[in-house]
Amino acid sequence: MEESAGALEHYLRARIPLTASLGVRVAEANLDCVQLSAPLAANINHSGTVFGGSAAAVATLAAWSLLHLRLAAAGISARTMIQRSRMEYDRPMTGDIEAHCRLDDPRAWDRFTGVLARRGRARLALQATLYCAGQSVGRFEGEFVALGAAQAVPDPAEP
């Protein structure tokens, strides 16, 4: 696991406790792509497949993580949260899952950071694809909001 992947995994486990319960592991973490994985055993449902809520959480985390990494690399301090999301499930997930998120449109990032700098608040749409046994099994679309320092809500973990 590369250094940034390890750092992201540590951050997720420390700041988003659900990641430990889901068994989330960071396979790749850079400014172009985040890949997370989660085992079937920790996310199994009554049908012996991955619980849909777990799959949606892992996909959401992959997209949120890419935004988090890009903001940190740009030196931008902002609170990020999901505003809306949509999940499509194409087939049952009968094994461990992976969620891959890439920023496909660099111009969207430039618009996002420009609006955030001017208005202190911006939105960015991100997509993630879920895989099981190497096959695409679902798609996530989410719109995330970033609030700059002037508009950020207090962090309960910080004094």
Domain ranges of the chain: 3-148
CA distance 157 to 10: 15
User: What would the CATH number be for the domain defined by 3-148?
Assistant: 3.10.129.10
Chain segment 54-82, per-residue pLDDT in tens: 999 999 999 999 999 999 999 999 999 99
CB 127 within 8 A of CB 141: yes
Angle at 37 between CA 28 and CA 22, to 5 degrees: 130
Q: pTM value?
A: 0.91
Residue pLDDT, tens place only, 101-154:
999 898 999 999 999 999 999 999 999 999 999 999 999 999 999 999 755 455
